[in-house]
Each structure stands twice: as structure tokens, then as C-alpha cells.
Amino acid sequence: MTASQERIVPTDLSNEMSRSYLEYAMSVIVGRALPDARDGLKPVHRRILYAMYELGLTPDRPFRKCARVVGEVLGKYHPHGDTAVYDALVRMAQNFSMRDPLIDGHGNFGSVDNDPPAAMRYTECRLHRLTVNALLRDIESETVDFADNFDGSQQEPVVLPSRIPQLLLNGSSGIAVGMATNIPPHNLGELVDGLIALIENPEISIAELMHHVKAPDFPTGGQILGTSGIRDAYFTGRGSITMQGVAEIELIEQRGRPDREAIIVTELPYQTNKAALIEKIAELVNDKRIDGIADIRDESDRDGMRIVIELKRDAVARVVLNNLYKQTPLRTNFGANMLALVNGEPQLLDLKRFLEVFLDFRVEAITRRTQYELRKAQERDHILQGLLIALENLDAVIHLIRAAADTASAKQELMDSFGLSEVQADAILQMQLRRLTALEAEKITAEHEQLLAQITDLEDILARQERINAIIVEEASQIKSIHESPRRTEVLLQDGDLDERDLIANEAAVILLTEQGYIKRMPVSTFEAQNRATRGRAGAKIKDDDGVEHFLTCCDHDKVLFFSDRGLVYCLNAYKIPTASRTARGVPIVQMLPIPRDEKITSLVAVSEFTNDQFLVMLTRKGYIKKTPLDAFSNIRTNGLIAISLAEGDELRWVRLATSEDSVIVGSQQGMAIHFKVGDEQLRPLGRATRGVKSMKLRNNDQLISMDILPAQIAANIANSESEEEEESNEDLNGSEEIITEVTEGPWVLVVTSRGYGKRIPVHHFRLQKRAGIGLRSIRFRMAGDELVGLKIVYHDSELMLITNRGIIVRQAVSAISPQSRMATGVRLQRLDEDDAIAAIAIVPTSSESESETEM
């Protein structure tokens, strides 16, 4: 067998790979990527700070070139690339990366715009005062262990004797093999308060600790939304903390032009690149994914950050800001992963465990420092005891030393004659003659007594845990008093998730639904107000065999309830209905809702909020009416919900919102109208799967065409006048067209016919009746074949929108329509083509209305 063959060692490949990989992984975890839970530092940071301390770069000394420090670290402690060392040094000097920087930098150390720092030969550094006071003090008092460096030529500290929980103060981030850490920074004052609370009550809960350590405190300020992510991080070690920048809406002055609104960003979320943020906003504006932004400027200077986002005149500032939060890093999440090394092993720590690990380390450091000081005091006192013996026997000692042949024999004779130790004998032989004076003897005696008191105190510290705890509190409080700074990050109590509605302006909108099921949404502002009796503008591109069937005005934040002829209800957010131009057909509603082919939408209702004090009043084709509490429809399934039980051949046709104090007016095709109360015994609340009661008695060939709700305060003022109790059979159908000249703000009952005529009738002309009556006549038709198509409750400042079967829309003020009596024929509202007719009417919602009007 050859020599080369003798060196071959058979081994199992799987075991060898597993062992080698684990060794490599642990080397990365312990020696590079994860911080120590005691001082919160990774090896590279610890070596940089210790090397600077050895070089004497304290806060009271001049700055030194960073290249000098990097060379010292590389040569003595950290045999890696200079780039890694310099990058670590730079980060410890950046006030936007560290909550409390550990290094005081002089020169270009980068910026929040991700500008790189200057080369190490140009920049200078020294230790920050906090670093000396809180991390390096007592390092020479044997408080921590030292280990050999990479080549055994130097000794380096295994950990720094930190006096504060530095890991929580400045946080840490790192990626190891198979694990990572991401610890947020905190406020120094809050951490000290939490540490003191733990010392005073070791059984304190995490929830109680959070009264002191409220939340992370990021160096760049910003805001934290909600506390759920913070609680997760503090209780479990992992949590997603939602951060956002601080932005305000201001009115900026412009020379020669009207003032404009602008969004001013003054603080950014932690680790957000300002230049990249501005670039992202510009990209979204160019791609038309964010509307309403006219200009972006960065006006930041040495006094602070200021990003100006100038808005267009018609933009809604809050909506633009919400879109910025949603689509840009102006709002982001900090994924807390509280992983750190405890006794050389990676552990996921909660808030209390973090402080407990640090407290145990601090107790150990103070114990070791006390033992070191005790040993030094005892050694010094031992020498002083020898000096005192020599002073008491001064003549004999001098005679002995003069008679001795040499130093060695003198030392031995002193030890033998006076019972001294070798150390004491050496001290006597090295004593200067000036110390033989009476004054010096008194000083030695005083120092001996002082050392005896110090030794007694140090022994008491070692014997009593409460003394050690008191020292920890005292030293931490001292650092707090010197280095504490106000909290920069504000905690907002609401959750951080933006609702989709927050990204959309709550503008008035028009929703059209045709007979063949095409639906679209348009802003009401698309249609300008026109004079009465004009032709109008096209509102939809309608096929020859199609026509507008439902016409609804609402607000974009409303929920639209779609009621079908089968008595089912579906729900859709108004803003989810696609917007389209006036000439567009829209999209098939079957793409928006799961409606079967044999089912048809017969009524639309816009709801802003589901409450238990409102009802949905439903009316069927055969005249059955009922009311059901609105909150019964708050959770509508995707495939719909039963709204009413229908008789054979009947279908649900009209649905309106009302309260129990309101009243309802129902109109028929032949111009009859009945007015009765929604509440009382007339209309009792019923569940969803019920049919209802009879609403109105119809004549031959007549059918119901509309229903609307009269508000309670108005209905209460209507007297049951005996002067109008005559039945329809006794009314004068040939009466004159009386014009109402009384001045009133309304409300009125607006009636519109298919041929484009309409009028306003004072509501008190319709007395309250009992349900299921024949009602009163509301209009006298001007021409044969005309019929009533709409009946609405309107006010003096209301605006009306009419739409024809061919999609022509007119928007006009209600005040332009003449008030007339019930027997009048009305005035022309819209000029129609011969083959066209009014299909539906709707009332434009005003900004002051909390609930939008419903469709005709």
C-alpha cells in the first residue's frame, strides 16, 4: 500500500455533508449574522467599537480617519473584506439607521436617499459618548471574557459590558443560514423604564411591560398604525408592524395663480429610500395608476425632510394620499423577527425574555466587576498592612536592611523577622524615604481604613442581590438622564389596513341598467344642469331592441342592493361598477353578479350604512307591500339572499329605504296615488321570507308604477283634512289646471309622464289614508296614450335626472318645474322624439345628504 493510499479515510458521504453544512451554518449564525442578546452586537460591530476604544478614539479626542480604524480591525480582529467593515462602521454612524448612533462620524456618511458614503480615506470617526458610557465602561474590570483573535496574537472581548439593552435600543437585522433576524429599534427612556419595572417585579407580564415599552421608536419617525402587530412581536417574537410616513395637506401659494392643495411629507417609514419613493410616485402618475398629482418636488434641506406633492385642482387630497399609502412605500410593514443568540444558540425572544436575558447578563457583569474591585482592594490593603508594620518597627527595619548583604537577603530577613509576605516585603524595599514622614504615615493609615470600608461594602454587594439590582437601576437611570431623547414615532390606535373605499372619492354617480342587462357608472358631473323642456344629452349607447330600465343616483362609497323579480337581493359596492363614458354601452351585469338567465333585476337601492332603525319597504307587481329591518341584509351572500316571498305569478318590483315614522306614496300607471303610514298597524315589520299585505286597490287595466318615501317630520305635518275626503268617483276630471302660487320650500310630490310632462304637487294635497284604498288622482293626462312613469318626493334645491328609453339624459333643477294642483296636466320637462319615451327618473344626491336617493 502506498503512502497516498494510507491517507484515504473511508467515510459516509451523507454524514460528512450533514456535519460540514451544520458547522458552516453555525459559523455563520454565531460569527457573522446574528447579534448577541447581551450587548446587541454582531462580531464585526463589536470588533470595530473595541478597536476604536483601543486606539483612544473617545469623544474627547480628535477624529481619526476611518481607513485607520478599518485597518486596525482587519489586522487584529476581523480577517474579512474592508468593504464589510467600513459598511458596518458607516451604519453605526447614520442617524437615520440607528435610533442612537454608536459612532460619531465626520464627513459624508450617506443619506436617506441611499446616497453612498464617501470613501474611507475621506471620512473620519470617533466613538459616541453613549457608546463609551453604556457599552465600553468597565471593560477593563474583568466584567466580560476575552478570547484569542483569529491568529492568537491578540485578545478580543467575547461581549461588551453593556449597561442598557442595546439590542432593543438600535435593533438589528441579518440573514443567516436557514434563519433571519429583524429587530426594531426602541426609545432609550422606555427601555430603561421597562428594565426597572422588571427588576421591581420579576413576575411582571408582557402586557404590563408594554405600559413602559409602548412600541418601537424608529429613527426616521413616522407613524405606527394599530397595536396588533406590536403585541404579536412582543408576545411571540414575530409580528408585522405597519408603518407610514407623516403627511399633511396644505394650501400652497402660487404667484399669479390660484392657491393649490399639496401633500407635504415630512417623515418617512424606517428604511424607506426617499429618492426611490419619489421615483415610484412619478412612475405611478405616468402610468395613470394614481390620478390628481400635478407636480412632485423634494424640498428637503439640513433643517428636515419636505416632499411636496402638488395636486390638480379637481383632485381630492385625502383620496390621493390614501392611494399613495396603498401603492407606494409611504406605507410599509416592518416584519419583526426577534431572533438573537442566547448562550451561543439562536432563540426567538419575546419582550420580557429580552429584558430577562439582559438583566441576567448585567447581574453577572456587576458581580464580576465587584469581585475584581474587591480583589484589587484586598491586594492593595495587604500591601498597606505591610507598610504599617514597617512604620511601627521603623528602626528595626532600617537596621535590618542596612545590615543585609543584598536585596534578596533583605527581603527574606523581613519576611522571617516580621511575618510579611513576599509582596509586602517588596513594597517595603521599594518605599521611598519621603514616605517615612509623619504625614505620609497618616495617609497610609487613612487609605487602609478607607479600603477596609470599601472591602466591607463590596462584600455586602456580593452577598445581597438587592444591592446589585440597585446598582443596575442607578447606572441605567444615569444613562437615561444623560442620553434620553423624546419619542419620534407616533402610535395611532386604528388599524393600518386601508379599506378600498378610502382610495376612492365619495362622489355622486349615476348607475344605468338596461333591459338586456348592461350596467355602467358615470359621475353626475358628466351631465350639466339644463333648462326645462330641452332635448338632453346621450347617456348610453342603446341598441334598437334595448332600453334603459333602471336609473339610480348614489355615491361611490354606497353599497348597491340589486333586487330581482324572484325576490332575491344581491350586493355590490358602487365603486366596483365599472365607469364608462356617456356613449358606452357598459358591461353585462352577469359579469358582476351571479344572476341566472331567467332572473331579472327589478329594483336598485343605494345604502350607505346598515342600521337597525331603518327598513326596506318592498312592493310587488300585484301590489303586496312589506317592510323588513335593513340590518337583516347586512351580510348578503355572493349568490344572493331571499328578500321577500312571492305569490304565484307575482314579482318584486320596487324597494325603498324608510323609518317606521315615515309614510309611503304609491303611484299607478293611470295617475292614481295613495299615501299611508309606514309604521303603526298599517305596516308591521316582517322577516325576509314573508309576502306582505295589500297596498292599493287598482282599477281595470291599471298597474303600479312607482313608490317613494316621505320623511317622518314632513308626514307628521300633514293633517287628515276633511275637505279632501271625497272619493275619486266624485272628483271633477275636467277641472282647471290650478297653479300653486304659495311660496314653500317643499317637499313636493313630483310626477312625470311617459310623454315628458311633469309637475310638483304639495305633499299636503295627498292626505294620509288607510292602506289598500283606491287613492287620489295625481295628474290629468294631456294626450291619449300618456301614462304615469315616475313619482318622487323632491325639495326646492333638488336636481332631477330624466332618462329616455333611448338613453337620452336631462339634468335639471326641480325649482324650474311649476308647482300645480293634483288635477293639472303639468309642464313639458323633456322634448322627446316621436318613438321615444321617458323610462325613469332619479334625484341627484347632494353632498350634505347622508343617504343617497334611490332609483325610479
Query: In the prediction, which pLDDT does 586 show?
Result: 82
Instruction: Identify the DSSP state of 254.
Output: E
- The Cα 305–Cα 308 span in angstroms is 10
Query: Listing from the earlier edge strand, what are the strands of the sheet with 641-642?
Result: 601-607, 559-564, 568-573, 641-642
Confidence of residue 594 (pLDDT cuts 50, 70, 90): confident
Contact 296, 279 (CB under 8 A): no
Structure-block grid coordinates of residue 597: 338567465
- The Cα 169–Cα 358 span in angstroms is 12
pLDDT in tens, 743-779: 456 688 999 999 999 999 998 889 888 888 899 999 9
Task: Rounding to the nearest 10 degrees, give the CA dihedral for residues 124, 130, 136, 141.
Answer: 140
Query: Given 21, 77, 86, 122, which residue is catalytic?
Result: 122
Q: Among the ranges 13-22, 677-686, 721-730, which has the highest mean pLDDT value?
A: 677-686
The residue length of the chain stands at: 856
Q: Write out the CATH class of domain 28-162.
A: alpha beta
The structural architecture, per CATH, of the domain 506-721+732-843 is 6 Propeller (2.120)
Helix pair 82-93, 66-76: axis angle to 10 deg: 130
- The Cα 825–Cα 481 span in angstroms is 86
- The Cα 651–Cα 551 span in angstroms is 19
> pTM score > 0.75 for this model?
no
Query: In the prediction, which pLDDT does 845 show?
Result: 64
HSE-up of residue 855 (Cα within 13 Å, Cβ side): 27
- The Cα 131–Cα 136 span in angstroms is 6
Contact 447, 455 (CB under 8 A): no
Residue 708: strand pairing partners: 665
Contact 844, 523 (CB under 8 A): no
Give 191's contacts (C-beta < 8 A, 6+ positions apart).
164, 165, 168, 169, 213
- The Cα 634–Cα 63 span in angstroms is 68
Query: In the prediction, which pLDDT does 5 show?
Result: 55
E strand segments, 176-245: 180-183, 223-225, 238-244
pLDDT in tens, 448-460: 999 999 999 999 9
Q: Among the ranges 287-296, 486-495, 837-846, which has the highest mean pLDDT value?
A: 287-296
pLDDT in tens, 194-229: 999 999 999 999 999 999 999 999 999 999 988 889
Residue 533, number of CB atoms within 10 A of its CB: 15
- The Cα 126–Cα 110 span in angstroms is 17
CATH topology of domain 246-329: Gyrase A; domain 2 (3.30.1360)
Secondary structure of residue 829 in the 3-state scheme = coil
CATH of domain 356-483: 1.10.268.10
Percent of the chain that is helix, strand, coil (3-state, to 5): 30, 25, 40
Confidence of residue 714 (pLDDT cuts 50, 70, 90): low
pLDDT in tens, 471-507: 999 999 999 999 999 999 999 876 545 566 666 777 8
Query: In the prediction, which pLDDT does 224 show?
Result: 93
Amino acid at 500: E
- The Cα 196–Cα 778 span in angstroms is 81
Confidence of residue 188 (pLDDT cuts 50, 70, 90): very high
Structure-block grid coordinates of residue 372: 475584581
Query: In the prediction, which pLDDT does 541 show?
Result: 55
Give 516's contacts (C-beta < 8 A, 6+ positions apart).
543, 545, 546
In the chain, where the domains are located: 28-162, 246-329, 356-483, 506-721+732-843
- The Cα 643–Cα 618 span in angstroms is 9
User: What values do phi and psi take at 797, rounded to 5?
Assistant: -95, 10
Looking at per-residue pLDDT, the higher value among 242 and 530 belongs to: 242
Contact 697, 661 (CB under 8 A): no
Residue 531 has pLDDT above 80, yes or no: no
pLDDT in tens, 628-645: 999 889 888 888 899 999
- The Cα 656–Cα 706 span in angstroms is 10
Bridging pattern class, strands 672-677 and 615-620: unpaired
Domains 246-329 and 356-483 share a fold: no
* H or E element in which residue 522 lies: strand 518-523
Structure-block grid coordinates of residue 452: 477596609
Average pLDDT over every residue of 89-106: 95
* H or E element in which residue 373 lies: helix 351-392
Integer angstrom CA distances of residue 273 from 223, 267, 294, 328, 602: 16, 12, 22, 11, 53
- The Cα 52–Cα 64 span in angstroms is 9
Give 364's contacts (C-beta < 8 A, 6+ positions apart).
none
Instruction: Find how far residue 706's CA is from the centre of its chain.
Output: 46
Secondary structure of residue 715 in the 3-state scheme = helix
Query: In the prediction, which pLDDT does 846 show?
Result: 58
- The Cα 434–Cα 683 span in angstroms is 116
Amino acid at 203: E
Amino acid at 141: S
Residue 45, number of CB atoms within 10 A of its CB: 23
Query: In the prediction, which pLDDT does 744 show?
Result: 59
For the ranges 39-48, 416-425, 591-600, the lowest mean pLDDT is seen at 591-600
Looking at per-residue pLDDT, the higher value among 313 and 760 belongs to: 760
Residue 535 has pLDDT above 90, yes or no: no
Task: Rounding to the nearest 10 degrees, give the CA dihedral for residues 742, 743, 748, 754.
Answer: 70
Bridging pattern class, strands 827-828 and 757-762: antiparallel
Residue 249, number of CB atoms within 10 A of its CB: 14
Query: In the prediction, which pLDDT does 715 show?
Result: 54
- The Cα 225–Cα 831 span in angstroms is 56
Query: In the prediction, which pLDDT does 264 show?
Result: 93
- The Cα 491–Cα 287 span in angstroms is 33
Structure-block grid coordinates of residue 227: 397595536
Q: Among the ranges 156-170, 245-259, 697-711, which has the highest mean pLDDT value?
A: 156-170
- The Cα 27–Cα 339 span in angstroms is 16
Structure-block grid coordinates of residue 386: 505591610
Average pLDDT over every residue of 303-317: 88
Q: Among the ranges 16-25, 410-419, 529-538, which has the highest mean pLDDT value?
A: 410-419
pLDDT in tens, 60-86: 999 999 999 999 999 999 988 899 999
Residue 663: strand pairing partners: 677, 710
Amino acid at 491: V
Give 834's contacts (C-beta < 8 A, 6+ positions apart).
none
- The Cα 146–Cα 328 span in angstroms is 48
Instruction: Identify the DSSP state of 478.
Output: H
Calculate the average pLDDT of the chain: 86
Residue 352 has pLDDT above 70, yes or no: yes
The answer to whether residue 575 is catalytic is no
Contact 188, 483 (CB under 8 A): yes
Helix pair 407-418, 422-429: axis angle to 10 deg: 120
Average pLDDT over every residue of 532-561: 69
Residue with cell 432593543: 168
- The Cα 269–Cα 267 span in angstroms is 7
Give 9's contacts (C-beta < 8 A, 6+ positions apart).
none
Confidence of residue 36 (pLDDT cuts 50, 70, 90): very high
Amino acid at 826: G
HSE-up of residue 326 (Cα within 13 Å, Cβ side): 17
Average pLDDT over every residue of 255-284: 89
